[in-house]
Amino acid sequence: MEFSWSEQDQAFRGQVRAFLDEHWGTSNEDGEGGGDRNRGRAFEKKLAEHGWLTMAWPQEYGGRNATHIEQMIFAEESALRGAPTGGQGARMVGPTLIIHGTEEQKQEHLPKIAAGEVMWCQGFSEPGSGSDLASLQTRATRDGDEYVINGQKIWTSGAQHADWIHVLTRTDPDAPKHRGISYFMLDMKTPGISIRPIEQMHGARGFNETFFEDVRVPAKNRFGEENRGWYVSTTTLDFERSGVHRAAAVERGYKPFLEYAKQADSAGAGSRVVDSNVNRLSLADTATEVEIGRLYGYRVAWMQSKGLVPNYEASMSKAFNSELSQRNARRNINMVGLHGALRPESSHAVLGGQTCQSYMSTVSATIAAGTSEIQRNIIATRGLGLPRG
Ligand SMILES: Cc1cc2nc3c(=O)[nH]c(=O)nc-3n(C[C@H](O)[C@H](O)[C@H](O)COP(=O)(O)OP(=O)(O)OC[C@H]3O[C@@H](n4cnc5c(N)ncnc54)[C@H](O)[C@@H]3O)c2cc1C
């Protein structure tokens, strides 16, 4: 067992920090969500120029053969600053393409993702299919060299900014549900695709309904074999659930709060935080849990560095860290008291209103990328070998 970083990894972490200092600073926004998109995309371009957007990819596709550990250090440091890391293209679509894509698809898409030129969104969930994703109904019908897609997706994060979408469709309605699904990549400008924004309770418009009306997609844009798309998409989902960024995002949210508690003078609101033993212990709990959450993320990266494919390990990391983000937000808002519920626009808000924002925005953390119940089902069946419930 080795619990220390190599000199090379430490030096790399220093380079990432220096780069973030120079080009990004710190943001309270989650790098993948809302915030200033233009600033985010400009920063991603800089990452691309530096070869960091897709650093662990093979050189021939725009990567620089970096180690998984370096990639993880980069993701961790970026999440600690709320900096973007390339979104779905760099984190999910590209890595899945490297495993399952045709050579033509790799040549077409990977260099553009690596250059930070395209933004992707994910069309998986439907109004009637979320956790039971394989029950999806959006239909793709073969017509010569094309498929024609009709149906509706929902909760499509970032569709309003995206250039391309990766979509699951049903191609064989008579087959058992997992075996009649095909996976496609579509240009968002294809005629027949339209979106309608959904407003979230904390005011952001992060996701959308996406409609497909007689949308024609070339058969060469099919990701994996016809009716075998489900098995490709599970790779995408494993990449989505992996990552140390969730634990780092909790740390980013809790550190300023800790400083606030430490700096409180006897008259300030922060004094109530340090004066209360319950609050001191709450901060200790978060500090402990952030360490645990980070180790879950490190474990996934370590497995990848050994050529292993994380599966239920990614679910453990996702479930623990998303639930931790909610516990942390609850603790913070309780510690601050009534001031904590004020929105950023209030002049009485504490820490820029972050307690209120994160309390509301983390509600969705245990739903996005598969709910906690679904992660536990995966851990129970694939991890512990228990029968399906
Ligand atoms: C912030 C956010 C971003 C998202 N972005 C995207 C996106 O970009 N693209 C996309 O396609 N989707 C996206 N989603 C959708 C997300 O994948 C679904 O919301 C999620 O899979 C749950 O599906 P559902 O909402 O239909 O809930 P349901 O599946 O209806 O679940 C309702 C409740 O029942 C429980 N449940 C269901 N089945 C079981 C079971 N077998 N065992 C135990 N409990 C069960 C669930 O855990 C949940 O508590 C996003 C969601 C959020 C919150």
Average pLDDT over residues 3-24: 94
Phi and psi angles of residue 342, each rounded to the nearest 5 degrees, phi first: -80, 145
Q: Whose CA is nearest to atom 45 of ligand 1?
A: 373
**Distance from residue 372's CA to the centre of ligand 1 (Å):** 9
More confident residue, 27 or 297: 297
Residue 30 vs residue 246, higher pLDDT:
246
Cβ within 8 Å of residue 275, ≥6 positions away: none
Q: Is residue 240 flagged as an active site residue?
A: yes
Q: Which residue has the higher pLDDT, 278 or 148?
A: 148
Instruction: Find out whether the beta carbon of 303 lies less than 6 Å from any atom of ligand 1.
Output: no
Catalytic-role residue among 240, 251, 289, 313: 240
CB distance 210 to ligand 1 below 6 Å: no
pLDDT for residue 148 is more than 50: yes
Is ligand 1 within 6 A of the CB of residue 156? yes
* pLDDT of the residue at 269: 54
Contact 93, 236 (CB under 8 A): yes
Residue 279 has pLDDT above 70, yes or no: yes
How confident is the model at residue 257, as a pLDDT?
A: 81
Determine the pLDDT at residue 18. 97
Whose CA is closest to 283, among 294, 297, 270, 296? 270
Q: In angstroms, what CA-CA distances link 324 with 301, 314, 354?
A: 20, 15, 16
CA-nearest residue for atom 29, ligand 1, is 131
Kind and range of the H or E run holding 248: helix 245-263
Residue type, 135: S
HSE-up (13 A, CA, CB side) for residue 52: 23
Q: Can you give the pLDDT at residue 383?
A: 95
**48-57, 126-135, 304-313: lowest mean pLDDT where?**
304-313
Cα 281 to chain centroid distance, Å, stands at 30
CB 297 within 8 A of CB 72: yes
Instruction: Report the distance separating Cα 303 and Cα 175, nearest Å.
Output: 35
Strand segments, DSSP code E, in the chain are 120-123, 139-143, 146-153, 164-170, 181-187, 193-198, 207-218, 222-223
Q: Whose CA is nearest to atom 2 of ligand 1?
A: 368
- Which residue among 155, 177, 364 is best mutated to probe the pocket of ligand 1, counting the most ligand atoms within 8 A of its Cβ? 155
Going by C-beta distance under 8 Å and a sequence separation of 6 or more, which residues neighbour residue 140?
Answer: 147, 148, 149, 169, 170, 171, 182, 184, 217
Average pLDDT over residues 180-196: 98
Terminal Cα distance for the chain, rounded: 36
Q: Is the pLDDT of residue 258 over 70?
A: yes
Three-state secondary structure call for residue 277: helix
Q: Give the Å distance between the CA of 318 and the centre of ligand 1.
A: 14
Note the pLDDT of residue 32: 47
Q: In a 10 Å sphere around its CB, with 0-12 CB exposed, 13-18 middle and 19+ buried, how is residue 174 labelled? A: exposed
- Read off the pLDDT of each residue in 242-269 and give the average, rounded to a whole number: 78
Stretch among 165-179, 219-233, 238-252 having the lowest mean pLDDT: 238-252
Q: Tokens in use for 157?
A: 């994060």
HSE-up of 48 (CA within 13 Å, CB side)? Answer: 21
Q: What pLDDT is recorded for position 168?
A: 98
Q: Helix axis angle, 312-336 relative to 277-305, nearest 10°?
A: 160
CB atoms under 10 Å from CB of 184, counted, come to: 23
Overall average pLDDT of the 372-383 stretch: 96
CA of residue 155 to ligand 1 center, whole Å? 9
DSSP run (H or E) holding 303: helix 277-305
Residue 153: CA count within 13 A, CB half-sphere: 27
Q: Measured between alpha carbons, how far is 197 from 190 in angstroms, rounded to an integer?
A: 18
Distance from residue 309's CA to the centre of ligand 1 (Å):
24
Domains in the chain: ranges and CATH: 7-118 (1.10.540.10), 121-227 (2.40.110.10), 242-383 (1.20.140.10)
Closest CA to 87 of 34, 51, 141: 34
Contact 329, 355 (CB under 8 A): yes
Q: Tell me, what's the pLDDT at 33? A: 43
**What's at 149, amino acid-wise?**
I
Check: CB of residue 246 under 8 Å from CB of residue 293. yes
Q: Which of 36-40, 113-117, 178-182 has the lowest mean pLDDT?
A: 36-40
Nearest Cα neighbor of 166 from 214, 217, 115, 107 is: 217
| Mean pLDDT taken over the chain | 90
Out of 367, 372, 377, 388, mutate this one to test ligand 1's pocket (max ligand atoms within 8 Å of CB): namely 367
Check residue 170 and report its DSSP letter.
Answer: E
pLDDT at 35: 62
Q: Among 124, 43, 57, which residue's Cα sits nearest to residue 86?
A: 43
| pLDDT for 336 | 81
pLDDT in tens, 159-171: 999 999 999 999 9
Residue nearest to atom 4 of ligand 1 (CA): 368
Q: Which of 131, 183, 366 to mutate to test the pocket of ligand 1 (most atoms within 8 A of CB)?
A: 131
Sign of CA dihedral 36, 73, 23, 47: negative
Query: Which ligand 1 atom is nearest residue 88's CA?
Result: 8
What pLDDT is attached to residue 209? 98
Token duo for residue 160: 């309003």
Higher pLDDT, 266 or 79: 79
Query: Is 155 near ligand 1, meaning CB less than 6 Å away?
Result: yes
Buried b (16+ CB within 10 A) or exposed e, 113-129: bbebebbbbbbbbbeeb
Task: Give yes or no for residue 265 having a pLDDT over 60.
Answer: no
Write down the pTM of the prediction. 0.91
User: Given a cut of 80, is residue 203 above it in pLDDT?
Assistant: no
